[in-house]
Structure 1
Amino acid sequence: MKLKIAILGTRGIPNHYGGFEHISEYISEGLVQKGHSVTVYNSHQHPYQQKSWNGVNLVHCYDPEYLIGTAGQFIYDFNCLRDARKRNFDVILIMGYTSSSVWGKLYPQESVIITNMDGLEWKRTKYSKPVQQFLKYAEKLAVKHSQFYIADSMVIKSYLKDKYAINSSYIPYGADLYSPQEKEQFSLTEMQKEDYFLLMARMEPENNIETILDGFTNSNSEKNFKVLGDTQNKFGKFITDKFKNDERIKFKGSNFNNVAVRSLQNNSYLYFHGHSVGGTNPSLLEAMASEALIAAHDNPFNKSVLEKDAFYFNNAVDVRKLIETVQRKDPEKQMVQNNLLKIQYQFNWEKVIDAYEEFIIECYCKVKDERIISNKR
């Protein structure tokens, strides 16, 4: 069965932003390789302006976020939906609900609507109380107006079951194993193996960047700490200003060269993952696949992925202790290998793409059968 599928809710592909864009790259290309027609909606501001990418159709819609800020996301999602209503897609996969579910009544009635429910967006501390209340409302609307649901974490799946009494399909993100060829592609001129700590994240409070760097600043480490992420937003500027006097901390900006990023992860002494809200995080999986030794924020999302194969922290004191005491001996090497096995057998892209295709076809057939039965009555 070959379907006409659309992916909405992202800024577009190839990825120049974050998690949903990252997975949309892999899912869309994988589904095309399986014979489906796939369209991904892109912001008109996206750096890639072609009409197709690796066999995936691209539709660029007007996105005024660069002019009016967050409110522009709602207009962009409206424009994407308005276009999608004209194209008779069999299935529409919506990545997240933050600015799309308010338009739920506009979801094309002839298309099967599947929503990836993201990760408890209303818990993000960067949002004010009114915004958090709105996000709870947006979550309810996503549940109401979607027919089927995907959870990228078992924690999210359980939450949706308890909160809304709905069944969702657990499909995590994936990652590619770090190949010897990739290792050879990237020069280590700016690094000595394992002479630095590393974190990679969007500059947002709930990613615990301040906590991590507070712990490092108070440590006696002689290593550098590299920070990957765009620091041009308000919180990013606060962070760079706060730690500007610690010459060991190197703010490297955002980096979308996957080979370079994975080499940085692979060569770090200890990789800090501070994300505390959301489901299975792509950068965490890539760090695991890149054979990094990981220290993660102590929360159910991270623990459901890493289990016992990571160090955990709750505050700056914990971070300082890890900075000063973690070694790279046989137990730590075993942790790295255990995480690599998880990528190989649980979080690999082939399995993820297969799971998306299977679920999409299952949802389409279920709705099609229900409509046939309804028409016969």
Structure 2
Amino acid sequence: MKIAILGTRGIPNNHGGFEQFAEYFSVYLAEKNHDVYVYNSHDHPFQEKDFKGVHIIHCHDPESKVGTAGQFIYDLNCILDARKRNFDVILQLGYTSNSIWHQLLPKKPVIITNMDGMEWKRSKYSAKVRKFLKYAEKLAIKSSDFLISDSIGIQDYILEKYNRTSEFIAYGATVFTNPDTEVLSKYNVETNKYCVIIARLEPENNIATIVEGYHQSDTSHSLIIFGSLNDFGNKLQKKYSADKRIQFVGANYNQEELNNLRFYSRYYFHGHSVGGTNPSLLEAMASNTLIIANNNIFNRSILGENAYYFDNSNDVLNVMNADSLFDQKEIYASENIKKIEQLYNWDIINSAYETYILKKLK
């Protein structure tokens, strides 16, 4: 098949979850002799026209100059280009900015959309933006031939809200097998004597909840927080600047370093609460770490009984003061690695996508 992947900033990944998936899935399809095209921002660091057999199409993306509105222009440029390419399938990753251009989508290809999470629930957005996001969600549901949900919670929501079925295909991860302590010195920490957060620094990821509980605790262990320092992150960093245990270190896209930091951590905090299977959660499961997650349906549907859950900062405080969960690390971690091997490894996820898409082409 001739397939285009839209909705990301491009590959190879230097941004986030959808970009990581687009990289893995497109290369997988190319290896299976499909004709694969991925749309990249014009200013993406990778400027070649081919990546491991995947065709790269660069489209103008003014986001760096005009802000969020630039995403809409970029998606429009991608869709206008796609009209010229005679694709069999267009796989859209997310819907936020491309759905308003749905009437411009080419008529021949089958349109399949991964619905991502409930973007309209994100507290960083104003009431007007949230209203628009709900509208965009509705447009995506209406204009897509088929839908994919990467979470049972999202699948249930789409069925209940819109009476539309969607195919559940989760995100993927690869079990981490070659730990190396070298990176620990970079952050001045020792094996099993620090905790980690890897997340966008946004309110709905419960960063403030985790950090406040940690700050109030008696633990001597460091808390390393990975995520770009936006306005929200800068405020938190300033608020807790006197607490030398708490380190805001910015974003890090070096998967080898992150895998090692998760592997040797005492606890890994996962505060995401807004929809979908978050990639960093599966990557943590694959890295032999003990996960302390926000108590919600999305995290529970993936982790089940193989994690500890928190609802508020007092729960985090109690975990750190008692420090009794660490004794169960190997039990929890080994069960989560089994899940990655049996349910969420990339070969399984990529094959499920390919099988589903080919079935919808018949």
Same fold (TM over 0.5): yes
Choose the corresponding residue for 2:45, options 37, 47, 56.
47
Distance apart, 1:355 and its partner CA: 0.4
Choose the corresponding residue for 2:293, options 296, 300, 310.
296
Distance apart, 1:188 and its partner CA: 3.7
Q: Tell me if 1:157 matches 2:155.
A: yes
In 1, distance between residues paired with 2:227 and 2:65?
Answer: 22
Residue in 1 aligned with 2:274?
Answer: 277
Q: Tell me if 1:254 matches 2:251.
A: yes
Q: Tell me if 1:65 matches 2:59.
A: no
1:128-277 correspondence to structure 2 within 5 Å: 128-180=126-178, 183-184=179-180, 186-190=182-186, 191-231=189-229, 233-277=230-274
In 2, distance between residues paired with 1:41 and 1:185?
Answer: 37
Distance apart, 1:330 and its partner CA: 5.1
In 2, distance between residues paired with 1:313 and 1:198?
Answer: 15
TM-score of the pair, normalised by structure 1: 0.93
Q: Secondary structure at the match of 2:344?
A: coil
In 1, distance between residues paired with 2:33 and 2:40?
Answer: 22
Residues 188 and 152 of structure 1, relative CA distance in 2, 3 Å threshold: same
Counterpart contact for 2:174–2:340, Cα < 8 Å: yes
Residues 329 and 239 of structure 1, relative CA distance in 2, 3 Å threshold: closer
Distance apart, 1:331 and its partner CA: 3.3
Choose the corresponding residue for 1:338, options 335, 338, 343.
335
1:26-37 correspondence to structure 2 within 5 Å: 26-37=24-35
Counterpart contact for 2:213–2:314, Cα < 8 Å: yes
Superposed CA deviations along residues 150-179 of structure 1, whole A, max 9, x for unmatched, are 000011111111111111110000100111
In 2, distance between residues paired with 1:116 and 1:192?
Answer: 40
Distance apart, 1:280 and its partner CA: 0.6
Choose the corresponding residue for 2:18, options 20, 30, 35.
20
Residue in 2 aligned with 1:370?
Answer: none
Residues 187 and 234 of structure 1, relative CA distance in 2, 3 Å threshold: closer
Bigger Cα displacement from structure 2, 234-243 vs 302-311:
234-243
Residue in 2 aligned with 1:307?
Answer: 304
Q: Secondary structure at the match of 1:189?
A: helix
Counterpart contact for 2:120–2:130, Cα < 8 Å: yes
**Unaligned residue ranges in structure 2 (runs of 5+):** none
In 2, distance between residues paired with 1:326 and 1:30?
Answer: 42
Distance apart, 1:186 and its partner CA: 4.8
In 1, distance between residues paired with 2:275 and 2:80?
Answer: 28
Give the CA RMSD over aligned residues.
Answer: 1.2
Distance apart, 1:108 and its partner CA: 0.8
Bigger Cα displacement from structure 2, 319-328 vs 259-268:
319-328
In 1, distance between residues paired with 2:182 and 2:81?
Answer: 41
In 1, distance between residues paired with 2:181 and 2:150?
Answer: 31
Residue in 1 aligned with 2:77?
Answer: 79
**Unaligned residue ranges in structure 1 (runs of 5+):** 366-377
Q: Secondary structure at the match of 1:260?
A: helix
Distance apart, 1:324 and its partner CA: 1.5
In 1, distance between residues paired with 2:2 and 2:49?
Answer: 17
Superposed CA deviations along residues 333-353 of structure 1, whole A, max 9, x for unmatched, are 211111111001001100000
Counterpart contact for 2:181–2:191, Cα < 8 Å: no
Counterpart contact for 1:186–1:259, Cα < 8 Å: no
Q: Match of 1:343, as an amino acid?
A: I
Q: Match of 1:7, as an amino acid?
A: I
Runs of 4+ in structure 1 over 6 Å off: none
Distance apart, 1:327 and its partner CA: 2.9
Superposed CA deviations along residues 201-254 of structure 1, whole A, max 9, x for unmatched, are 0111111111110111111111111011111x2212212212211111111211
In 2, distance between residues paired with 1:188 and 1:315?
Answer: 29
